[in-house]
Structure 1
Amino acid sequence: MSLLPVLLGASAVDALAMADDDLFFAELPIVASVSRLPQRLTDASASVTVIDREMIKAIGARDLNDVFRIVPGFLTYPSNTDAARVTYHGLTNEEFSPRVQVLIDGRSQYSPLFQSGVNWASLPVALEDVERIEVVRGTNAVSYGSNAFLGVINIITVDPALVRGVSVSTNQGNQGVSDTTLRVGGQLGETGDFRFTYQEKNDSGLTDQFDWKDSFHSRLANLNTGFWLSNRDQLQLSIGHVEATTIQGRLQTATDANGQKYLSGGEDPANPFRDFDQSNTFLQALWQRALGEGADFQLRYSYAEDRGSEAHTVRWRGLKWNNNRDLVYEVNVFGGRGTRHEVEAQHTFSPLDSTRFVWGGGYRFDSVDSTELLYGRDTVYRRVGRVFGNLEWKPAEWLTGNVGAATEYDSLAGRNFSPRVSLNFHLNDENTVRFGASRAFRTGGTFDYVGHRVVSPSSTAGGTPVPAGQVYAQAFYGDPDMEQEEINTIEFGYLGEWKHVRSSLDIRLFRERIPNRMLTVSRALPSSICNVLAYPGTCTAASADYMTAIQKVKIEGLEFQWRWQPFDSTRLMLGQAWTEISSAFLDGVPYDRKNDLQTRRSAPSSSTSFLLMQKLPGGLDFSLVGYWVGDMQWSRNSAVDFYRRFDARLGYPFNMGGQRGEIAYTAQSINGDHGEFKSSGEPSDRVVELRHWVTFRIEL
């Protein structure tokens, strides 16, 4: 078990876990995602929510981002015409959520193409392959780099050695739900194991509301293998590909004399319907070597490639040029290709009896091509190197100290240094209090530094040819001198584990200060800049967007997570979060009411989640999950009112003649319709209606 890596070793976690079968989720007290050392929750330097396979099934989610509704302080919404986001403590204005690090088997899912964020539509993992998820609630740049600004989601997949035979499952339901999953596992020779998964997912999305449409289609194939090279060495190889398609665009509208919008016929020429095609291809190799008791070394290489395309022609009737003609141009905002090569080494050992230490380093090489956001540029490259270390010190039974630090050099963003320190005081076997402080940084996406987007007439799109050297408008430009976003965190934590009542309570009280929150703003461009960025010659430019520091932000709050198993057949989980965000604009920055309001309302003042898992007579499994989410604002132009949502699942595992499987019924939003996302100026929400489906799974 010691050979399994700290980040990937679900089996090692199980082996270290407490053996008391009566303890609620007895396998959960060991986590590896905070310091890269396997630690009991009572020794960890951050609050962690662990979601295992049984919980994932009980939650009744089809989409991975839906799972994180159960985590205190986390926010998400259903996939629709806007890219799904998973955020923690607000700051939700950017697409693809660039402040929470997402890992799959240790491999970062941040994409150079998708604004250095996470594209949940093309995440290369099937929900059925997830063994457990460790969610670090709080900054963790010390362990995982600058993208772990507010938190970390570490997704650990099933070990191939635990998968045998063939299993087939399908979901069939309303709203076009039609999913199929095939998984095969077995041995490769005498020392190897493999797991192969193929999955197709389809749905017609949320019910069409007024002027938009929604749908989702994806296909995924993954192969994971593991080989014992010797009694001390293991090699894991994985490769996979996923492609997904969503629909973008709007129907054409007009406004009547009373200011009410109505459909005026046809598609909106400025935003016509088109497919947004996305894909991700990856491969990873991980070598691990046991060096002795409590010591090991691992070396990991990974490659990922993202592609996207939503190419379409826009006719903008509000912009006129050249004898009052409509502006016609080609658009492909998220079109292009992004790649990432990453090498990482990690060494774990115990320098003294009372200490454990993990250290390592990594090198990342990114490239991105985009005809839209890198207008006139060739491939842009980016290099990032980092060194990290975490020390656990236990001088006495009543005290655990954690000290960590990381330094990073980015060829676009420059250098940063992130420290963290925490002290855990074990009042007794059941009660622990924790004090911690940290500083971290977030670097921008490649486009934020070198981006270049223009809007120009296009002869290929049917417009009149543009005069040589002239560009109509500059839409976005990158700032090579953009500073790094900083966060300073102070927190108090309490963890109670009461075996005699089979219950636990995790409390986090926090204050997070960001002195230089980065946002996109607009300003007029001098013609000299426009000409340099576009073509030599004349250039007409009203304004352009760019990323810069404009706000000081303070996030304060309290959250807790309570688990209880009152009976062997009953498990309960309750989580709540209270969050208050305040902001002030930096000196010299004009007050912007929209940005100020969006920042303050980017997290609900309160939210609650509840999960009941109940075993019923006859072998039935029942679960009920509920969410209460206060009003908030996702971006400057989108918001959500307070809503309640309840989902339920009833499953029957069976074993007939040696054939094992399950038949289940899942229903989401059983309490009625509600909105979870609304764009300003639109007459209706993306309404979440009752969605239900039947699942049938059989193991052959």
Structure 2
Amino acid sequence: MIRPWNSLSRSLLLIALVAMGVSASWADDERAYFSELPVVASVSRLPQRIADAPTAVTVIDRELIKASGARDLSDVFRLVPGFQTFPNNTEAAQVTYHGMSDGEYSPRLQVLVDGRSLHSPLFSNGINWATIPVALEDIERIEVVRGTNAVSYGSNAFLGVVNIITVDPALAQGFSISTGYGSQNVRDYALRAGGRIGDVGDFRFTYKQQNDDGLTNRWDWVDSFRSRLFDFRSDFSLSDRDSLQFSIGQIEGVTQRGRLNTTTWQQKPEDPIRDMRQTDAYVQFLWRRVLSPTSDLQLRYSYVVDRSSDEFSIPFAGRIYRVNQSGDEGARHELEIQNSLKLIDTSRLVWGASWRTDSMRSDWTLPGQGAVQRDLARIFGNLEWKPSHWFTGNAGISGENDSMAGFHMAPRVSGNFHLSPENTIRTGFSRAYRTGSILGYRGDWWTVSGGLPKYQFAGNPNMPPERMDTWEIGYLGDWRESRMSLDVRVFNETIHDRLLSIDQNIANNLIPDTIMPVQKVWIRGFEYQYKWQPFESTRIVLNQAFADIGSSYLQSALANPNNSLGNAAKSAAIREQTEYSMPHRSTSLLVMQKLHWNLDFSVAGYWQDRMKWSTNSWSPKYRRFDARLAYLFRWSGLGGEVAYTIQSLNGAHSEYKWNDEPSDRVVDRRQWISLRLDF
């Protein structure tokens, strides 16, 4: 059982309650916290009130991002019920919703920046959180769809969607510089400039670099992280009906890989300490045309290229072998067209189509295959029907034809019953598919194990997609007079043919691992988000998730007694990882308080039960508290902010532990002072 109310917790609560009693007003130009329920477009691709959306949505605005004290984007999602994350270390940070985090990256969660998917063919068709090409300061809001949304965004939106919407350049005029300096070698610098482009456009340019020493080094590894980001966006009004958005940028992230020999504390020749360099570069064009007062057309093209290298050399059998397990390059071209229109007074429709081609090359994991290409064509549609003030219906369907995975369709239907203006009941069913990565279908590589060659992995060209059926019921309460809202989601998610990498013969190093359907998994539980503004100067956000995960092995996976599942210990480890891939209980609490003298104070608390990230890594039960105090100032045209942020103020704990090593990736107290000047 979680026991959040220890002495430190009571002290923090007392601080928050005292702060609530301080009389302070929001700035005149800020929106009231509950002036109206947010309008979101990430669920059905139609702008809708949250009360009309077919599934649950959490909106994280700029104020919440700042108040959280987050320095990395992955940290922000601690404020979303059902989400888990761990920091960048020798492994790239992960963000998952409802677990299923069997790989290094997050292949079951779709992440978008201004409509562009961040899924990469290079990183196992997942998200590399070390190279997210957006600065926190440039985020206007994040819409998090808590539930499958393959209907709107394809197979990677298997468990949910994170849609990051950046600041309009017209709202980022002027010049701003900022820096952060603190413990664990935190050294951050940023520069942002914005202005007009003639009479028809605006631009925003951001440069940002981050440096730190990573998590505390207490075992056989070395950690550090640094990144460099360049990001440019410009918006043009071409006519009274046409607009164009152009974006281009690049981010480089560098983490540490390798191990030390725990006897000599020297580098292991077969796995030396080395830099892993990863880059993400992109360009995007987005054209919009208003066809009529009730219809518009949108055309988007994006090109993204990811590169990675942790190259080193090892001697073997009198020869020197070049090893580059993370390289080399993945690229994606995507073209999408979308049309939204009002059919009649009671219904709206959005439909569209997209074409995508992915390619990947790697001398290590795809030897001799050159650039392996994958093509995907997709069509989608969502219909909203509001025949009465008390009912909103949503129906959608999409079809994908994948050159590697074949054709599949994903439907969704839901009904929202508005019992009153303040109370809504939501019910729905959806089906989603998730396809494997290029490596999953075509990978082929060897390694060295115990001084002997090992055929490490061979792709499965006949690998089927995973399928998930979701039933959910939700409740949304919007009590504006009391400035409170409550969003509850009860879910039953069943994953058929869960894909996992399995050793086909644990006794024979010449028979490779492969990916195959292994389990049926069911995830059941409920989660809620509660918001309250008891005073003009105080905001509270409380999130909790409760879940149980069960699984059973497929008979087809058990047919081979020599594979991993034929070994009792390995079979038990896989089952344990599945059923603990999400904590049974998790809680987050954020209190935001405006004080006198232009001071902002916030404190966040996180409580999480034990969970497993993979069969070899896990997170013990922990609690963590972060706090931030900021002073806003303006002197004769010069504005800015100075802030003090402290993370893990309650002391060291582990959020990512490898096997049963005596002391591993420790999240220790980290604190820094930041300064921003706006000209």
Are 2:548 and 1:589 equivalent residues in the alignment? no
Note if contact 1:329-1:455 (Cα within 8 Å) is conserved in structure 2: no
- Equivalent residue for 1:387? 379
Cα distance in 2, alignment partners of residues 26 and 380 from structure 1: 51
Alignment-derived partner of residue 609 in structure 2: 630
CA deviation map 1:118-166 (0-9, x unaligned): 0011111111100000000000000000000000000000011111110
State percent identity of aligned pairs. 53
The equivalent residue for 2:672 is 693
Deviation at 1:339, TM superposition (A): 0.5
Offset at residue 524 of structure 1 (A): 3.8
Structure 1 distance, partners of 2:265, 2:643, is: 43
Q: Residues of 1 paired with 2:379 and 2:299: CA distance?
A: 14
- Are the equivalent residues in 1 in contact too, given 2:633–2:639 (CA < 8 A)? yes
Q: Residues 665-684 of structure 1 correspond to what in structure 2 (within 5 A)?
A: 665-684=644-663
Determine the C-alpha separation between the residues in 2 that align with 1:663 and 1:678.
Answer: 35
TM-score (norm 2): 0.92
Residue identity opposite 1:661 in structure 2 = G
Query: Per-residue deviation at 1:24?
Result: 2.7
Does residue 272 in structure 1 map to residue 264 in structure 2? no
The equivalent residue for 2:620 is: 641
Matched, 1:67 2:76: yes
Q: Which of 327, 341, 346 is equivalent to 2:338? A: 346
Q: Is the contact made by 1:23 and 1:499 (CA closer than 8 Å) also made in structure 2?
A: no
Contact 1:251-1:272 within 8 A present in 2 as well: yes
Could you tell me how far 1:204 is from its partner in structure 2?
A: 0.8
Q: How does 1:648-663 map to 2 (within 5 A)?
A: 648-663=627-642
What is the one-letter code of the residue matched to 1:690? R
Paired residues for 1:372-411 under 5 Å: 372-411=364-403
1:16-37 deviation line (CA, Å, top 9, x unaligned): xxx9988535465211100000
1:455 matches 2:457:
no
Q: How do residues 379-528 of structure 1 correspond to structure 2 at under 5 angstroms?
A: 379-455=371-447, 472-524=453-505
For 1:95 and 1:107, locate their aligned partners in 2 and report how far apart those are by CA, in whole Å. Answer: 22
Q: Could you tell me how far apart the structure 2 residues matched to 1:287 and 1:23 are?
A: 32
1:500-533 per-residue CA deviation (whole Å, 9 max, x = no partner) reads 110000000000001210000011499xxxxxxx
Residue 427 of structure 1 aligns to a residue whose secondary structure is: strand
Structure 1 residues 380-435: Cα deviation after superposition (integer angstroms, max 9, x where no partner): 00100100000000000000000000000000110110000000000000000000
Structure 2 matches for 1:132-281, cutoff 5 A? 132-253=141-262, 263-281=263-281
Tell me which moved more, 280-289 or 677-686.
677-686
Question: Considering only aligned residues, what root-mean-square deviation do their CA atoms show, in Å?
Answer: 1.8
| 3-state SS of 1:69 partner | helix
Q: CA deviation at 1:542?
A: 2.8
Cα distance in 2, alignment partners of residues 588 and 161 from structure 1: 57
Q: Secondary structure at the match of 1:252?
A: coil
Q: What amino acid maps onto 1:496 in structure 2?
A: G
Instruction: State the Cα deviation string for residues 436-489 of structure 1 (Å, max 9, x = none).
Output: 0000000100110011112379xxxxx9xxxxxxx9432111111100000000
Q: Does the 8 Å contact 1:195/1:223 carry over to 2? A: yes
The 1:315/1:690 distance shift into structure 2, 3 A limit, reads farther
Contact 1:22 1:502 in 2 (8 A): no
Structure 1 CA distance for aligned equivalents of residues 634 and 619 of structure 2: 45
Contact 1:22/1:568, CA 8 A, preserved across alignment: no
Letter of the 1:557 counterpart: G
1:565 equivalent to 2:538? Answer no
Taking structure 1 as reference, are residues 508 and 315 closer, same or farther at Cα in structure 2, changes over 3 Å only?
A: farther
What is the letter of the counterpart of residue 95 of structure 2?
Answer: V
Once the two structures are superposed, what CA deviation does each residue of 1:186-216 show, in whole Å capped at 9, x if it has no partner? Answer: 0001011000001111111111112111101
On the 8 A contact 2:595/2:601 being kept in 1, the answer is yes
How far does residue 560 in structure 1 lie from its aligned partner after superposition? 0.3
Question: How far has the Cα of 1:242 moved from its partner?
Answer: 0.8
Is the CA contact 2:598–2:632 (under 8 Å) kept in the aligned structure 1?
A: yes
Q: Distance in 2 between matches of 1:28 and 1:119?
A: 32
Letter in 1 for 2:576: L
Q: Is the 8 A contact 2:34 2:480 kept in 1?
A: no
What SS is found at the alignment partner of 2:266?
A: strand
Q: Distance in 1 between matches of 2:129 and 2:265?
A: 33
- Partner Cα separation in structure 2 for residue 396 and residue 212 of structure 1: 62
After TM superposition, the structure 1 stretch with the greater mean CA deviation from structure 2, 372-381 or 481-490, is 372-381
Give the 3-state SS of the residue equivalent to 2:265 in structure 1: strand
Q: Which amino acid aligns with 2:141?
A: R
Matches of 2:315 and 2:606 in 1, distance apart? 42
Q: Does 1:39 find its partner at 2:86?
A: no
Aligned partner of 2:313 in structure 1 is: 313
In 1, Cα distance between equivalents of 2:36 and 2:675: 28
1:131 aligns with 2:99: no
Rate the CA distance shift 1:148–1:292 in 2: closer, same or farther, 3 A: same
Query: Is 2:376 the partner of 1:367?
Result: no
What does residue 578 of structure 2 align with? Answer: 599
CA distance in 1, matches of 2:93, 2:539: 30
Any gaps of 5 or more consecutive residues in structure 1? Answer: 1-18, 254-262, 317-321, 458-462, 464-470, 527-539
Cα distance in 2 for residues equivalent to 1:377 and 1:279: 23
* Residues in 2 aligned to 1:368 and 1:380: alpha-carbon distance in whole angstroms: 5
Partners in 2 of 1:55 and 1:548 — Cα distance?
41
C-alpha separation in 1, matches of 2:622 and 2:448: 43
